[in-house]
């Protein structure tokens, strides 16, 4: 099977001239590159290289289509014309036989289909490269959506990934930009995403977490997971009723306020990123519906992004600095985050950032792309040896999706103006007196555990003065005492600030 697959890939590559793309960039200094140049005849193609690559991936099937989709997000590595063209890839796959889906459901659960569901619709409502979805109804009358992995998809993925890895090695050896583009790392990143999508229990847990984060929200609805019916190959969740967000005419017929919907999308995105550090990273129109009440409905939770506190601080500082044209602060934020070498000259980095960003501000704010600005910043930072941050690349791709969706709903959407109040409020909560109170509350349990231990530790050390471990124990005591004094200092300062605020309110 692998030889047949390899033959098909070779045929498609020749048909769409992918060999010419490699040879055009092949280094004549490598032996392999020189041999290929002599053996392969030069040909000319009317279609641009990016279009030919997209069409080749579509011909090779769903796994290669999905690879192209992931590749399109790596705009920090691949040329803009290719990334823009690959972003047009649509994952439309014919469904597999329903009998196979039922067999997999019964094999995973150990029960018959009739024992699991009162009603099961044999016609799939959606079909993608990895799984397809059927509507059903539980015996208690609850309507559900049943997601089932494609039979044999694991074997297909293993074969295609092995071929992609071999192609990545070849490209790295013969292409001039092969090493810079890091093809093997890109394939490894794709393999990770793909294998994560093969575990539907993982997707179910992502869905459950996002639902918990937005419990009681009037902006976003996330389906409930029915864990008793889930396995690694089957996911059963609440059936959602809504209209695809791309069907604007139907939304207008339902009297949905599209301008409010676009602003809500921005707020949902920034809430996920800065409040939770856990965001839906595949928010294209096919995964978003709108309820009759005008709320967003999230679907498909196979790819989620996460951010640490340091990442969130970095992003908020950069965005706010952009709003204020404080390029020095942008440069310093990169250095403080450790993403560029500590010896980087702030003034040189600031100058490079200014050259990228200043022309943008000559345009009306509504005409400025938030996502593309972030991308240009990453590209500029790469000149200063900035390390690629995978979590930010995923975030940037999601931001581009959100921005495109928002402006489709409301062409006049000013993403900067919409986001700025949210970011300023979040930053105030991080560095203001509210943050102080929160940190004091978080550290309280630790203080309660530290204070009672100090007398015992001091007594133990005094009784063992002659032992060689004295220095180490004294260092432990010194560290804990120092921590206690720092805590008391923070408490005192915090109390003083709160008292001052209270007095100020009384005097007003």
Catalytic annotation, residues: 282
| H or E element at residue 395 | helix 390-409
Token look-up 């400025």 returns 368
Asked if 272 and 280 count as a contact pair (C-beta separation under 8 A), the reply is yes
Contacts of 300 (CB under 8 A, 6+ apart): 203, 282, 286, 287
**C-alpha to C-alpha distance for 54 and 59, rounded to whole angstroms:** 9
Residue 412 structure tokens: 């006049």
Residue 397 structure tokens: 């791709």
Asked if 405 and 265 count as a contact pair (C-beta separation under 8 A), the reply is yes
**C-alpha to C-alpha distance for 352 and 313, rounded to whole angstroms:** 22
**C-alpha to C-alpha distance for 231 and 456, rounded to whole angstroms:** 51
- How many CB atoms are closer than 10 A to CB 358? 11
In the three-class reduction of DSSP (H, G, I as helix; E, B as strand; rest coil), residue 236 is classed as strand
**C-alpha to C-alpha distance for 324 and 306, rounded to whole angstroms:** 27
**Angle between the 390-409 and 309-323 helix axes, to the nearest 10 degrees?**
50
Task: Tell which residue, 209, 214, 195, has the closest CA to residue 154.
Answer: 195
Question: DSSP class of residue 408?
Answer: H
CA distances from 376 to 97, 218, 235, 273, 372 (A): 46, 34, 39, 20, 6
- How many CB atoms are closer than 10 A to CB 357? 19
Question: DSSP class of residue 227?
Answer: G
**C-alpha to C-alpha distance for 317 and 311, rounded to whole angstroms:** 10
SS3 per-residue string spanning 334-358: HHHHCCCCCCCCHHHHHHHHHHHHH
Contacts of 459 (CB under 8 A, 6+ apart): none
Alpha carbons within 13 angstroms on the beta-carbon side of residue 94 total 3
Angle at 140 between CA 229 and CA 233, to 5 degrees: 15
Asked if 359 and 368 count as a contact pair (C-beta separation under 8 A), the reply is no
CA distances from 417 to 320, 366, 367, 508 (A): 11, 8, 12, 32
The per-type count for the chain, helices as H runs and strands as E runs, is: 23, 11
């Amino acid at each position: 099977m692998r030889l047949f697959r390899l033959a098909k890939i070779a045929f498609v590559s020749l048909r769409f001239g992918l060999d010419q793309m490699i040879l055009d960039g092949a280094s004549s200094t490598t032996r392999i590159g020189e041999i290929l140049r002599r053996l392969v005849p030069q040909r000319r193609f009317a279609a641009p290289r990016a279009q030919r690559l997209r069409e080749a991936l579509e011909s090779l099937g769903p796994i290669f289509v999905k690879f192209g989709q992931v590749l399109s997000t790596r705009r920090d590595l691949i040329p803009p014309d290719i990334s823009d063209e690959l972003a047009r890839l649509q994952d439309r796959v014919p469904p597999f036989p329903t009998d196979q889906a039922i067999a997999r459901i019964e094999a995973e659960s150990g029960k018959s289909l009739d024992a699991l569901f009162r009603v099961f619709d044999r016609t799939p409502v959606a079909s993608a490269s990895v799984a397809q979805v059927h509507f059903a109804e539980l015996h208690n009358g609850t309507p559900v959506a049943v997601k089932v992995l494609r039979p044999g998809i694991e074997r297909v993925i293993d074969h295609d990934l092995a071929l992609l890895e071999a192609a990545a090695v070849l490209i790295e050896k013969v292409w001039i930009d092969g090493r810079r583009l890091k093809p093997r790392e890109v394939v490894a990143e794709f393999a990770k995403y793909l294998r994560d999508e093969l575990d539907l229990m993982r997707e179910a847990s992502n869905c459950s977490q996002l639902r918990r984060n937005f419990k009681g929200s009037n902006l976003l609805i996330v389906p409930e997971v029915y864990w008793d019916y889930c396995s690694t190959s089957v996911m059963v969740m609440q059936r959602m009723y809504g209209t695809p967000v791309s069907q604007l005419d139907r939304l207008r017929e339902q009297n949905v306020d599209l301008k409010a919907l676009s602003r809500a999308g921005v707020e949902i995105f920034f809430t996920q990123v800065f409040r939770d550090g856990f965001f839906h990273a595949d928010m294209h129109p096919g995964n978003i519906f709108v309820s009759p009440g005008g709320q967003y409905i999230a679907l498909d939770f196979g790819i989620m992004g996460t951010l640490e506190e340091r990442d969130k601080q970095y992003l908020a500082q950069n965005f706010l600095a952009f709003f204020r044209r404080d390029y020095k602060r942008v440069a310093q934020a990169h250095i403080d985050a450790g993403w560029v070498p500590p010896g980087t000259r702030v003034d040189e980095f600031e100058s490079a950032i200014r050259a990228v960003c200043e022309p943008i501000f000559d345009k009306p704010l509504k005409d400025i792309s938030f996502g593309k600005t972030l991308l240009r910043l990453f590209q500029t930072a790469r000149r200063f040896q900035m390390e690629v941050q995978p979590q930010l690349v995923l975030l940037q791709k999601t931001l581009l999706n959100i921005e495109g969706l928002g402006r489709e709903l409301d062409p006049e959407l000013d993403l900067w103006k919409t986001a700025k109040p949210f970011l300023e409020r979040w930053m105030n909560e991080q560095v203001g007196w509210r943050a102080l109170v929160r940190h004091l509350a978080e550290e309280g349990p630790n203080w309660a555990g530290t204070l009672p231990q100090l007398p015992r530790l001091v007594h133990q050390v005094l009784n063992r003065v002659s032992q060689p471990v004295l220095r180490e124990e004294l260092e432990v005591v010194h560290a804990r005492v120092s921590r206690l004094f720092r805590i008391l200092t923070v408490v005192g300062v915090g109390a003083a600030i709160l008292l001052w605020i209270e007095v100020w309110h009384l005097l007003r």
